[in-house]
Structure 1
């Protein structure tokens, strides 16, 4: 009985550490994106411009995960003007529900934009503002995965380092800075997951849970260290992912504050 409880506890811990961080930032960026875009007229030129930049990056996240998990991609719309349902783009695919690998892929296909968006923004930072990129690159992957006061100090330090590296006189006098801000904000605001994205991700959790349960049963039955290795790999992933998503969240917060100012000014002139 103790062995069963131990396996369930370890599996729950692995799931929480792996999925908790992804879903936390997923919902946070979803809320920030929706609140930010609420201050812009739906279908306006500015809205369409940001969607034209951000939507293809969002859809590429779904697309590349489909390819990684060997899904059959049937149709991809990288960007379209909002239709009656507000759809800006989509990826239609089919998969084999009898394949454990492809069932696990449902989760990663659903949360694909939470990977493609950050990668795109960091590539922009690397090519357009290399000094800012190098200023924070040493901090990436250094965030502690054991939540404590020190963890929050690290988060604040990384956020401040990024802000200082981004907003300075040198960058303010360069065209690359303004291009980065416009493109990064357009991408960040479209990282948010739609309802179908969340449904896809949620359906894949069952397969991930089954896989982890089987792994932990084998690990305990044969006295292997597989469970510990999973926790170590998850901890490394979380440290890297949290560091990156903090930078993305800072960008999203900047756009959120800008949208509030924009909305206030628009209401006063109306």
Structure 2
């Protein structure tokens, strides 16, 4: 009986630790995916399938580069890459074909991060765009993050700070100085294009799910060893997962522009409907 209870306890702890380590990025992916799907549905209803193509020139290569970079990091062999295409019969705009050693736990875990690659490349590209094109807004955001975000347990205080970070981004971007700056409008075009193609495809989600299963298995095995050696892994993982505060802060940029993209899509759809009526 004690053995069974110990086994169930290890299972529960492993699941909670997995949520602390990767749960936030999964939630971010779901939010970005939902916003993109709704935005694209309005664009397609307004302009047809070609409405989504306008932003694909920038957004799709950034999406696929995210997969590609993670393939290199996790040791997968890349066989074919298409950063952008318009004539695929199934409407696939780009893809990265990769292979891995099924006997390698490291490469199997990599499937999770390869599937989520577009989120990392999308957020990274948005931050780089701010740094190069609207540096004043970037430094305002950077100062906010440095002053308010700390590596600590994720709680309501941290979540409040994330909302404040998004507010700071919005206020620092939409200023009179930026509105008369051509580079600001270039950044907006790039940001909207990236946000329109940051979500994960079904194939991405399927690959990530395989990796997530292996992540849980690896954590579970580690916790069995920790139980034998009487280590307290839970508190260590909770402290380690403090990086989620930074992850949320930086992802607020992508969520903000995905939300703005949704608003623009709805506005364009209503304008088109008014002209038709």
TM-score (norm 1): 0.93
> Does the residue aligned with 1:39 lie in a helix, a strand or coil?
helix
Paired residue for 1:242? 248
**Number of equivalent positions:** 267
In angstroms, what is the RMSD of aligned CA positions?
Answer: 1.8
My pick for the range that moved more, 80-89 or 3-12, is: 3-12
1:104-124 CA distances to partner (integer Å, 9 max, x unpaired)?
111111111111110011000
Distance of 2:117 and 2:178 partners within structure 1:
31
TM-score (norm 2): 0.90
- Is 2:83 aligned against 1:75? no
Alpha-carbon contact 1:111-1:193 (below 8 Å) kept: yes
After TM superposition, list the pairs within 5 Å mapping 1:206-225 onto structure 2.
Answer: 206-225=213-232
Paired residue for 1:264? 270
Distance of 1:147 and 1:233 partners within structure 2:
14
- Is 2:57 aligned against 1:52? yes
Distance of 1:197 and 1:189 partners within structure 2:
16
Which consecutive residues of structure 2, in runs of 5 or more, have no partner in the other structure?
Answer: none
Paired residue for 1:34? 37
After TM superposition, give the deviation of residue 48 of structure 1 in Å. 2.2
Paired residue for 1:92? 97
1:193-245 CA distances to partner (integer Å, 9 max, x unpaired)?
00000000001111101110122222222133544333322222x11111111
Distance of 1:172 and 1:53 partners within structure 2:
22
Paired residue for 1:107? 112
Distance of 1:131 and 1:96 partners within structure 2:
46
Paired residue for 1:4? 7
1:180-200 CA distances to partner (integer Å, 9 max, x unpaired)?
010011001111000000000
> Does the residue aligned with 2:144 lie in a helix, a strand or coil?
coil
